[in-house]
Amino acid sequence: MTTYLLLTGAGFTHNWGGWLAKELEGDLLGRLATIPALQRLVQNAANFEEALDTARGSFAGDQVRALEMAVKDSFQAMNAALAERFSMFLGGKEHVVDFLARFDSIFTLNRDLLLEIHYNALREGSRWKGTYYPGVIPSTLPAPTLPPHKDEVLRRARRVGSIGAAEELQQPIYKLHGSVDWTDDSGDLFVVGGGKDTYIESKPLLVEYFRVFRERLLAPNTRLMVIGYGWNDVHVNRAIFDAAKSNHSLGLFHVNPSGREAILGPREAPIARYSTSTLAPLKCIGESRRALTTTFGGDNLEYEKLMRFFVQ
């Protein structure tokens, strides 16, 4: 039996108008116009998460909170824009939502609400009766087809607990870096900035999510599709690399403008610390260098290539 897993990064949401990191920084610079020190910090940093890490280490508490709030406001603005879309349909012969329902589990590094707003695995012909977010209260959301759903998702703050038993016939979605709308007794579960692995260790739900991620990667005959992830999070890379060394049946399909080369990252990125011998076990079982807007917008050649991921 083959296990099909999906891992998504910011490049996934970008297909529906979501911001990539550099685009979000442009919004932050405008929001921070009245706080020149923070504006300069974001302008000169390699990325907004590095800027946030620097602020947490050397800026006053009120300035750190101002930057954190500006980042959250940028995400909420993006969520509002995503909610204005009618659906995730991209115009091709298959709705991308039907494609997502093919996976056994979805793991995402995205903290936006694209999936909460527009996705439910309950589809005609699907094995699923719905979608749920393990350990989140409520774990399911109203069906996207109901008119009040979008506004309800945008204004809802969800609490987190423990994962508990799997919900029968519900497709699980694990947000490995939390979400803009999640909280627990100690505050937000919104993982941004440096030191992500340390922050994750302080959040039992996210610790459990990564345990499940590693466990799923170790299952025999597992195929992992990675869409729009830049390979810049060491803790995520380590989970995948360690699984590949132990599970020789694990295969990766890359959906990225750089294809399988995305895994090498820019020279200064954390990925550069891994040697060629470490990367060797990462078996590539396919790649697509075209955007999902193309693949699901009528490009049948690329679409058929993507569908070969789902071998029996």
Q: What is the tens place of the pLDDT at every residue in 236-261?
A: 999 999 999 999 999 999 999 999 98
Amino acid making up residue 199: Y
Count Cα atoms within 13 angstroms, Cβ side, for 227: 23
Tens-digit pLDDT profile for residues 123-137 = 888 899 999 999 998
pLDDT tens for residues 177-214? Answer: 999 999 988 888 889 888 888 889 999 999 999 999 99
CB 4 within 8 A of CB 309: yes
Which pLDDT score, from 0 to 100, does residue 280 have? 64
State CA 275 to chain mean position distance: 26
The pair of three-digit structure tokens given for residue 109, joined into one six-digit string = 């590094």
H or E segment and range at residue 58? helix 48-58
The span from the CA of 222 to the CA of 233, in Å, is: 22
**Contact at 8 Å (CB) between 22 and 47?**
yes
> N- to C-terminal Cα distance for the chain?
8
pLDDT computed for residue 152 by the predictor: 81
What's the mean per-residue pLDDT of the chain?
Answer: 90
pLDDT digits 0-9 by tens, 136-154: 988 888 777 666 678 888 8
pLDDT for position 166: 82
Domains of the chain, residue spans: 3-17+89-307, 21-83
Q: What was the pLDDT predicted at 144?
A: 75
- pLDDT tens track for 49-85: 999 999 999 999 999 999 999 999 999 999 999 999 9
- Has residue 312 got a pLDDT over 70? no
pLDDT tens digit string along 25-46?
999 999 999 999 999 999 999 8
Helix axis angle, 61-83 relative to 48-58, nearest 10°?
150
Q: What is the mean pLDDT of residues 168-174?
A: 94
Q: What is the mean pLDDT of residues 103-130?
A: 94
Task: Give per-residue pLDDT as tens, 261-282.
Answer: 888 766 545 555 555 566 667 8
Helix axes 36-44, 48-58, angle to 10 degrees: 130
The percent of residues above 70 in pLDDT, for the chain, comes to 93
Separate counts of helices (H) and strands (E) for the chain: 14, 11
Helix (H, G, I), strand (E, B) or coil at 212: helix
* Cα(131)–Cα(172) distance, integer angstroms: 6
Q: Which two tokens stand for residue 191?
A: 């993982």
